[in-house]
Amino acid sequence: MSVSREWMGRGVVLLALAATVTLPFVLRTEEAPALVADDKVVIITPHNEAIRSEFARGFATWYEANQGRTVAVDWRVIGGTSEIARYLDGEYTQAFRLHWTRDLGRDWNAQVEQSFDKPSVKVDGTPEDDTDAESARRAFLASRVSCGIDVFFGGGSFDFIRQAAEGRIVDSGIFERRPQWFGPEVFPQEHNGETFWARDHSWAGAVIASFGILYNRDALRRLGIAHEPDQWRDLTDPKFFGELALADPTKSGSIAKAFEMVLQQEMQIRLRELKETGLPDSEAAPQAVREGWTRGFQVLQLMGANARYFTDSSQKPPIDIAQGDSAAGMCIDFYGRYQAEAVRRRDDSARLEYVTPTAGSVYNVDPIAALRGAPHPELTLDFIEYVLSPEGQKLWNFKVGTPGGPTIFALRRLPVRKDAYVPEFDRFRSDPGVDPYAPENNFIYHPEWTGGVFREMSFLIRVLCLDAHAELVEAWRAIIDAGFPTDAMRVLQDMSSIEYDLTTGLIKSKLRSGNPLDEVKLGRELSNGFRRQYVRAAEIARAIRAD
């Protein structure tokens, strides 16, 4: 009898489990309700839910008013720009392989696979003498092979420049449709050294971003920090030990850009110092770049030594800082402003503050572009037009509920169009005092200094701060306890293995050799070198303290 009841009980559990698993499939419609519409556009993006929600809703309203049809946005969210780049790489490789073998009847080989999307493979006007590599590259650039996605929306311009060079993003037609938008009065091609749209029309900035520091005033009081941080160097204060929240620059192009600002600022500080000595510009600039590179990495190293972690998600630090789990950190401007507003809205508290370091961050853009072989080219163009239109641009910084503003989320981002900053819009904007085009925002980005080694910079931050983080933290703790002995600091901050000339030469050549093993070997050599260096610095500090 008890056995029978036991089996009956098991049967009830199994039936309940089966119902739980199968019910969603029984009730599922052919398409999710949110995507039931006359038309659909497919977009891959690193943007957060708030941005996706407001632009999907705004585009649907705009599209119906202009086309008389309903539209839905099918968002593809797989992570940051690094994950998106890997995804696009895989999808386009498979799509082109099918085109090459099935449509063109050619044999697939390693040379074709390694060459079809490489900008270093040049094609000329004589296809008859093409090598296999040149033939593959020519065929890819002439094709409409598709990854099944229409639009790439968001992420740093570095990623879009790379995708354009490889041929995965293409001219959407927006420059032909709306030529009056693209000029110095509305949408400049360049601003303070940063490119705002590509000259080949492959991409255009959709929104402006800068980078800064988010900090928690309650946490600063807890740590005895009287000066609120307003410069990157402030984050090297040993009182921040174990209290900084930082993101991994190898996982996010936007975060890598923030780290680049530290290097650029140190180079510019050094340039001013050298000019004050009377050194001519022709001599001062090259010296400032080399010495500023070293100084910048020394700043980044001490920030890494103070870090609780390096997260894969650029959205995590602002949340942890708001909760008081970390005292401060670097972040993208809109994450900082958004989090600060959320705290004020929740408890009317001003404990959270975001600041852009004076002369320490440039304004750059997060672009938007059409992907090669977009399944819905007209919808692709329509969506890009909406994002760059006056109507779409209002969503970025207008307050919730204002005319043309967002419905639910205040996005707290900066429009790219100059005409979004006219005085009559100030009462509607969340940040009326912020204008990236104002004369006082004159920090000039020099792409010739660091732009050519942007990828190498992220790699070096990884081996300097992330791979050897445990040893770095232990060395910094010992140095703090010993009162910052000069000998220990000299060993800790020795950057001779990653100096500027080595980076632009040997390190760059190994990272771009095309052989992944070269990068693995180099990373192991450098990170092990820094581990030994940090262990030695800790030993010196402990010995001095013992004496």
**What's the CATH code of the domain at 455?**
3.40.190.10
Integer Cα distance of 388 and 186 in angstroms = 11
Residue 477 lies in a domain: yes
Burial of 83 (0-12, 13-18, 19+ CB in 10 A): middle
Integer Cα distance of 324 and 313 in angstroms = 18
Query: Residue 529, CB half-sphere, CA atoms under 13 Å: how many?
Result: 15
Residue 480 lies in a domain: yes
Are 310 and 230 in the same domain?
yes
Residue 11 lies in a domain: no
Residue 487 lies in a domain: yes
Are 298 and 186 in the same domain?
no
Last residue of a domain, one of 425, 454, 473: 425
Distances (CA, A) of 135 to 106, 115, 129, 130: 10, 9, 9, 5
Within 99-212, residue ranges assigned H as helices are 110-115, 132-142, 157-166, 174-177
**Total domains in the fold of the chain:** 2
For the chain, give the longest Cα–Cα distance.
Answer: 101
Are 486 and 411 in the same domain?
no
Domain that holds residue 285: 211-361+446-546
Residue 456 lies in a domain: yes
Query: Residue 483, CB half-sphere, CA atoms under 13 Å: how many?
Result: 5
Integer Cα distance of 93 and 90 in angstroms = 5
Are 386 and 335 in the same domain?
no
Distances (CA, A) of 286 to 279, 283, 289, 290, 404: 11, 6, 5, 6, 48
Residue keyed to tokens 């900008």: 119
Are 132 and 118 in the same domain?
yes
Tell which residue, 355, 436, 358, has the closest CA to residue 397.
436
B/e letters for 125-149, b = 16+ CB within 10 Å, e = fewer, are eeeeebeebbbbbbbbeebebbbeb
Are 355 and 470 in the same domain?
yes
Are 370 and 495 in the same domain?
no
Q: DSSP letters of 253-266?
A: HHHHHHHHHHHHHH
Are 381 and 346 in the same domain?
no
Integer Cα distance of 248 and 210 in angstroms = 17
Q: In this predicted structure, what is the pLDDT of residue 446?
A: 94
Are 82 and 201 in the same domain?
yes
Residue 434 lies in a domain: no
Residue 525 lies in a domain: yes
- Residues of the chain below pLDDT 70: 1-35, 348
Are 474 and 350 in the same domain?
yes
Contact 178, 382 (CB under 8 A): no
Are 357 and 477 in the same domain?
yes
Are 410 and 499 in the same domain?
no
Residue 36 lies in a domain: no
Q: What are phi and psi of 78, to 5 degrees?
A: -120, 0
pLDDT in tens, 154-197: 988 989 999 999 999 999 999 999 999 999 999 999 999 999 99
Residue keyed to tokens 């992944």: 516
Distances (CA, A) of 76 to 31, 341, 344, 377, 406: 16, 27, 32, 17, 22
